[in-house]
Structure 1
Amino acid sequence: MKKDIEIPKVEGVYMAVVQEYNDIYKTDDWNAYIINDTEQDLEMLLVVSRGYDAERETSIMRHKLDKLPAKSYAKAEWMQEDVFALNNEFRVTFFLENKMYDKKYVFRKNSINKNAFQPIPLMNTKGVLVK
């Protein structure tokens, strides 16, 4: 029964979009990161992303990480600036203590910009954060 399914609340796991200089191509790239600001390792992470608005939708992208250690972060994907005009959704699923967790993080359209920068936990940089 649906009422018997327990879905634990996700705390201490965030998504961030930061702008970083790419030494190889000499460009300022935008990258999405998954951040584990908890004291425990996350296992079997799956990040599913898409961009959308009322008229358009991007392809669905899937990324897998076997493990994201406690107090660490990992790059989920590179983002083109063209998709910032869309809502950018990241659905994150992972296991912690043999329980499955799931959370949807949404960067609303036009919210990814330098005016929205704030300090990003663990990364020692600024960017756009969704908790």
Structure 2
Amino acid sequence: MRKDINFSPVKDVHVVVGKDGEGWKVFLINRTRDKLENVMVTSRGYGETKTEKQQTSTLRHLIPFIEPGEYALIEPIDESVFHLNNEYWVSYFIDGQVYDKKFIFVPDSILEENLIFIEELEMKGILHD
């Protein structure tokens, strides 16, 4: 059962929403000294407007591994969902130990004025830690 699993705290693993000439994309960056193995990312958007609740489809992504100092593309993201909570639930293993964390970009946090240069990606983006 989930309560019986020891989840260690996630450090130096980040979700980034970056923008390049093709549009907005979501990446996972490994800034640890360890190889991330069996990386599972579940993404979804949810929230509500003045009149209704909104929810996107839940997508699941499996990345076999991410080497130290490397990154992986999770998915493209459309500007039409920036008004929602955009959640990325990341789970992975390091040396047989499971790590797990939810990264949530709150509504309207994905904005041009919040972009910073992300060295690994060599592009501007919004880094969530």
1:56 is paired with a residue whose SS is strand
Partner of 1:120: 118
Residue identity over aligned pairs, in percent, reads 36
Matches within 5 A, 1:35-54: 35-54=29-48
For residues 11 and 56 of structure 1, what CA distance do their matches in structure 2 show? 31
CA contact 1:37–1:122 (8 Å) conserved in 2: no
Q: Which runs of 5 or more structure 2 residues have no equivalent in the other structure?
A: none
2:98 aligned with 1:100: yes
AA aligned to 1:102 is D
1:6 is paired with a residue whose SS is coil
AA aligned to 1:11 is K
CA contact 2:31–2:70 (8 Å) conserved in 1: yes
Moved over 3 A (4+): 1-5
Shift of 1:4: 5.2
CA contact 2:40–2:90 (8 Å) conserved in 1: yes
1:115 is paired with a residue whose SS is helix
C-alpha change, 1:117 and 1:41, in structure 2 (3 Å) is same
CA contact 2:47–2:55 (8 Å) conserved in 1: yes
Partner of 2:69: 71
2:31 aligned with 1:31: no
AA aligned to 1:75 is L
TM-score by length of 1: 0.89
C-alpha change, 1:58 and 1:101, in structure 2 (3 Å) is same
AA aligned to 2:55 is E
Q: Which runs of 5 or more structure 1 residues have no equivalent in the other structure?
A: 23-28
